[in-house]
């Protein structure tokens, strides 16, 4: 099975503030920007490479206090929220993890950029929220 880094998800208080650093100061190019209503989050993707499938930085801004991102920031402050990995067979990976006792937080769902994903609870990964994305 081939596994690649897709993106690093970073919870931010505001996209405007975060883009001042990542875009203006660091010089990263603004990529895809969208709102994911089901997740209650605004997302901006920043390519971290020159190839179309290069890893990205995903900036996550809550759209309201009920958002998972708002709750994360309230508890932990802004910062690294999750690591996303691309896998060849998401359904197979999810079934394998579940059968071996890993705690999955959702059924495969469509998210930012139309990617299908599942989240694996940090208790199953040694403390890191892990997102698996179908290649």
CATH 3.10.180.10 holds for 3-134: yes
CA 21-7-115 angle, to 5 degrees, is 125
Q: How do the pLDDT tens digits run along the chain, 135 residues long?
A: 789 999 999 999 999 999 999 999 999 999 889 999 989 999 999 999 999 889 999 999 999 999 999 999 999 999 999 999 999 999 999 999 999 999 999 999 888 888 899 999 999 999 999 999 999
The domain segmentation of the chain, as residue ranges, is 3-134
pLDDT of residue 32: 85
DSSP count for the chain of H helices, then E strands: 4, 8
């Amino acid at each position: 099975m081939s596994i690649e880094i897709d993106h690093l998800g970073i919870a931010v208080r505001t996209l405007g503030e975060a883009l001042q650093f990542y875009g203006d100061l660091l010089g990263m190019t603004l990529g895809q920007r969208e709102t994911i209503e089901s997740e209650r989050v605004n997302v901006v993707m920043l390519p971290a490479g020159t190839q179309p499938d290069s890893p990205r930085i995903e900036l996550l801004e809550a759209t309201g206090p009920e958002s998972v991102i708002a709750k994360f920031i309230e508890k932990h402050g802004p910062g690294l929220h999750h690591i996303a990995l691309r896998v060849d067979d998401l359904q197979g990976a999810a079934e394998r993890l579940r059968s071996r006792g890993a705690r999955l937080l959702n059924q495969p769902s469509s998210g930012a950029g139309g990617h299908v994903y599942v989240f694996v609870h940090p208790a199953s990964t040694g403390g890191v929220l892990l997102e698996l994305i179908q290649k």
